Chains A and B, each alone.
Chain A
């Protein structure tokens, strides 16, 4: 059994779980030195005395999400931390660019590289069990949960804290994605518009989520990881492949013979990605495809990179408990080639108590989770 007994998040725009079922947006305007016009920032700020410039913002987000858990992780817990490269944070890149050979400087930035952040978090939480930092770019949150599931399944741990965080909503991070033509070119607050004809890329967000997964739940569970699957596309670095065999395999490993009440799309609002996901949905569910909503939470909070898939897993379980699939906002001018039910009119009732959550990342990582309200479905 893989029961999720506690979860917490720090979302952009000051949003909370409820807001994501009301279709609220975290997207705000940005100005110089940001090279893009819009983003979805976390509005809370760290206490400057405790978290100075030597402390990565992404790690602060992780710590904040963990601090919101009701259950305190135990000493024997495992820890899986999904945290992408933090070199783009201004507090690292600016001084290190000026003096890349300064040992003294890099010693003060120890939490930005290697296993510094992982050991800091484990020590701060008093976790002495197995611990790893993982990264599979935008699929990091989902793959962190998969790693924890594998650890539970093999008996390596009984309980595991899973944390996923990212803060690439900084000038350099945005420039890197913009130069790769992955970000939306729009300056409008509706720019995060998956499956809409006007979409031109994703809107950068930031955030974190933390979840406790256990084999032996002693309290009521939020839900269960019923199945999981991941695969490599082996075709392109930045796009979903033409041949959908690998992503389909990840989805089918996760689903088994189950039919989901809805699917949480990767849904970033890139021109090609949304089309390919629509095709994948039809390939997976054939005649039922139109009746299974395919929704994008990123329409409301932008793309929180490594944190995205764990945030989405938490929201998916909330959706199942509410009997409502979250909406896809900003879908006002539908793309004729995206012709499924994306939840454009708002949160919608669902029947059934399992769902599929997908993440497709740079590098060709396909990661899928089947989540449910009962341990064995």
Chain B
């Protein structure tokens, strides 16, 4: 059986749903917000064997440019980069790079949960879930358990602006969805096959939300459509 867990910073209010939520983490840590939510979601799953494969689909990692404000304000003309930048650059926190890494979520999950197996880290596109899912099934067939995580942190000012620019402001949220596929997996709550039917998720948050709600039987989601494939829920929801 697949286990699902979910955390988000706000319960996507327009959907009228109650979802497990957590407070955003304190600023100034090595890991960004996205990784923190992912670690919390994986923490709710059964303990992982060390040879578990780590498959992640990550969106925005959390605000990055705010880390440069101190250096920017020290500039005479208000621009960050320009003459004198080498001196101002000392004001940038050494961990800023780590927080900006697009692979910080698998890194943090591996360290926090001692996962040492193979990995794939896909980025930013709901369509990519299908290909990650095929990788997951292939690994399970070779008796490798899989931890599959979808996570994003976009509730800050920069993230919200990005999502507004893409007409997706309601999805500028911090969330993580985690799935555990044991090596002896017998059934899954959905199938993915070639063909187009159902609704197409507009972003990672919507896809993750539908997967979670569908798996919990909280909402009749119907099929989910990707660019060449469709996900259909099996009768009776979760097995």
Q: Which of A11-55 contact B (CB under 8 A)?
A: 32-35
CB contact under 8 A between A362 and B98, given known A96-B158, A136-B121, A143-B120: yes
Q: Tell me whether A266 is interfacial, beta carbon within 8 Å.
A: no
Q: Tell me whether A100 is interfacial, beta carbon within 8 Å.
A: yes
The 9 residue pairs across chains A and B that have the minimum distance between CB atoms: A363-B107, A175-B89, A33-B85, A232-B110, A176-B97, A35-B86, A107-B165, A135-B102, A115-B125
Q: Tell me whether A192 is interfacial, beta carbon within 8 Å.
A: no
- CB of B86 within 8 A of CB of A87, answer no
* Complexed CA–CA distance, A107 and B103 (Å): 24
- CB of B165 within 8 A of CB of A231, answer no
Q: Tell me whether A364 is interfacial, beta carbon within 8 Å.
A: yes
* Complexed CA–CA distance, A137 and B121 (Å): 10
Number of inter-chain CB pairs below 8 Å: 214
CB contact under 8 A between A132 and B131, given known A35-B89, A90-B81, A100-B66: yes
* Complexed CA–CA distance, A35 and B87 (Å): 8
- CB of B100 within 8 A of CB of A130, answer no
CB contact under 8 A between A135 and B121, given known A231-B116, A363-B104: yes
Q: Which of chain B's residues have a CB closer than 8 A to the CB of A84?
A: 101-102
Q: Which of chain B's residues have a CB closer than 8 A to the CB of A131?
A: 125, 127
A-B contact pairs, 5 of them (CB 8 A): A115-B125, A133-B124, A175-B89, A362-B101, A365-B103
CB contact under 8 A between A237 and B30, given known A106-B165, A230-B118, A246-B116: yes
Q: Which of A244-259 contact B (CB under 8 A)?
A: 245-246, 249
Interface size for B (C-beta < 8 A) is 69
Write out, one digit per residue, whether chain B residues 78-89 have a CB within 8 A of any chain A CB (1) or not (0).
111111111001
Q: Which of chain B's residues have a CB closer than 8 A to the CB of A221?
A: none
Q: Tell me whether A288 is interfacial, beta carbon within 8 Å.
A: no
Interface positions of B (Cβ within 8 A of A) = 30, 50, 54, 59-61, 63-66, 68-69, 72, 78-86, 89-90, 92-98, 100-104, 106-107, 110-111, 113-125, 127-128, 130-131, 134-135, 138, 157-158, 160-162, 164-166, 228
Q: Tell me whether A286 is interfacial, beta carbon within 8 Å.
A: no
Closest residue to A37 on the B side, CB-wise? B86
* Complexed CA–CA distance, A110 and B106 (Å): 25
- CB of A97 within 8 A of CB of B68, answer yes
